[in-house]
Chain A
Amino acid sequence: MFEYYNGDDGVSKTGDIIMPDELAMDSKALIFATLADVYLTSGMVDEAISILKDGLSRNPNYTLGKIILGRAYYLKGDTEQALKILEQIYDQAKESESENLYLGHIYKKLGDYEKAISFYETTLKINPENKEAKRELELLKPKINMEEVVAAPIEPAKPVETITPEMVAVPKEEIPVQELPVEENIEKMEPEPEIVVEEKKPEKTSEVVIQQETPTGVEAEIKPEIQEPVVSKEQPAVEEIEVTPILPEIGLEPVVEEKVVEKPSPFDALNEPMQRLIDIKTVNGAFILSRDGLLIQSYYKGREDIEELCALIAGIFNDADNAFKFLKAGNLEKFIIEKSDETICVITAGESLLCIITKPEAKPGLVFVYARKIIEEIRKILE
């Protein structure tokens, strides 16, 4: 799920954010962006926004941080704010897969399918393997066709219900000479006529049918676009027709909303080993926190002061670690605080800490055996 620091354009082939090499030079930037990304993938959007805002106040020119912030606002549902942030940095981040992908998502949500398609296409140019962009394009292109179908009744001339699937565009060359002046008018309205439709089904010549139903050339030119289910890449006429309010009636919107929620948390991989640990009778609960005292993931049900505990533990850890470094006694790896009512075991797992709270009678050796396995998983997820 996570692919950090590969030094590309800031995104992975799967569309996830990747930390570029230059981040490694600024450890503060690395921490807040990494942590925010972890929070986002864990569904903790508000926490991610808070960290990003704080981090960006210290690193205001940090483009990747802004991309993640835009993504966070999008996931929160604040499309307007997300759009504002992502558009602000578009010039610096136009080569970013994630930037384009999320702009696509935002415009799709706003109903501007033309722009959404454009951004998804850009995403695919950057990374042709981006499955999310491919899937969105597959969903959106039929929508554009539907827009055309819906838009047709706006034309005042002829009733659309008489249109049959057999109807096909009339090639320009086949239009009778007397209709040419009308077509010229159409060309003024629609600068790029749909010739592609013609090429796909050349064997069908429904000129007579069209002419019967559409005495003027206007409908003859528009209707073939309506009937053709295969999308032509050029969609010049669509911009002129307002169809957004009609789409929910067609029932396509719910499909759009589903995907944001789908992403599984990377911490799902921890559920099994964590459950084994928590199943030990003497273990009360466990949680993962960052070294700066922020909660990453909690497996301690029913305790409400977890965040306070995170801050206290991180404080003790950092003080002790600094003291040991000062004394040249090595780096702090783990510690146990034994209190009368509970024992707190804290173990480092890369940039994060795993904290296990046990009853006083627990066997610390057993706890550490399980903890070691979990730490390996955490390292894989966070590093």
Chain B
Amino acid sequence: MELSQLTKIPRVLGAGLATFDGFIIDSQFVHGYDAEKFGAMSAKIVNQIKKNFSKENASIILYTDNIIFLAKAKNEGVLFVIADKDANLGLIKIKFEKM
């Protein structure tokens, strides 16, 4: 799994893989973004979805007024990507699903 496939997409701010308890396995982030915090957050949200909806490998896309955040449960852990609001989400999603 190469995170660079995601981070080289324009306006992607970073991507990472975290364990289900929130520890970072691997990450590539631009300066100013804390991978550990985002990793912990993605683990929390993905666990919550898994617990509430009883679905394996569910994914979530969150839009704030600044960024777009994608997270998905994989066998290895939680894969997450953070992109600028203006990024091409469709492209990110395709790459994201393929990983």
Contact = CB atoms under 8 A, between A and B. Distances in A.
A330 B66 contact: yes
A312 B64 contact: no
Contacts of A319: 44-45, 48
B82 to A, nearest CB: 8
B64 A330 contact: yes
B55 interface: yes
B63 A334 contact: yes
Contact of A324 (B48, B55, B62): B62
A331 B82 CA distance: 15
Nearest to A316: B48
Interface in A202-256: none
Interface string B32-63: 00100110010011001100110101111111
Contact of A339 (B38, B55, B67): B55
A143 to B, nearest CB: 57
A299 interface: no
A335 B52 contact: no
Nearest to B45: A320
B62 A320 contact: yes
Nearest to B56: A340
B65 interface: yes
Contacts of B41: 320, 323-324, 327
Interface in A332-383: 332-341
A260 interface: no
Given A312-B52, A315-B48, A316-B45, A329 B58 contact: no
A332 B49 contact: no
Nearest to A334: B63
B63 A335 contact: yes
Nearest to B52: A312
Contact of A330 (B45, B58, B65): B65
A333 B63 contact: yes
Contacts of B65: 330-331, 333
A340 B63 contact: no
Contacts of A332: 62-64
Contacts of A316: 45, 48-49, 52, 60
A316 B34 CA distance: 22
A100 B84 CA distance: 55
Contacts of A330: 64-67
Nearest to B67: A329
Chain A CB within 10 Å, residue with most, of B38, B48, B60, B82: B60
Nearest to A335: B62
A209 to B, nearest CB: 84
B58 A327 contact: no
Contact of B38 (A327, A335, A337, A338): A327
A340 B53 CA distance: 11
A331 B65 CA distance: 6
Given A316-B48, A316-B49, A319-B48, A337 B60 contact: yes
Contact of B53 (A327, A331, A337): A337
B64 A337 contact: no
B64 A324 contact: yes
A316 B60 CA distance: 10
Interface string B65-98: 1110100000000000010000000000000000
25 contacts: A316-B45, A316-B48, A316-B49, A316-B60, A319-B45, A320-B45, A320-B62, A323-B41, A323-B45, A324-B41, A324-B69, A327-B38, A327-B41, A329-B64, A329-B82, A330-B66, A331-B64, A334-B62, A334-B63, A335-B60, A338-B61, A339-B53, A339-B55, A340-B57, A341-B55
Interface of A: 312, 315-316, 319-320, 323-324, 326-327, 329-341
Listed from nearest, the 8 A-B pairs whose CB atoms lie closest are A330-B64, A330-B66, A330-B65, A323-B41, A335-B62, A312-B52, A336-B61, A339-B55
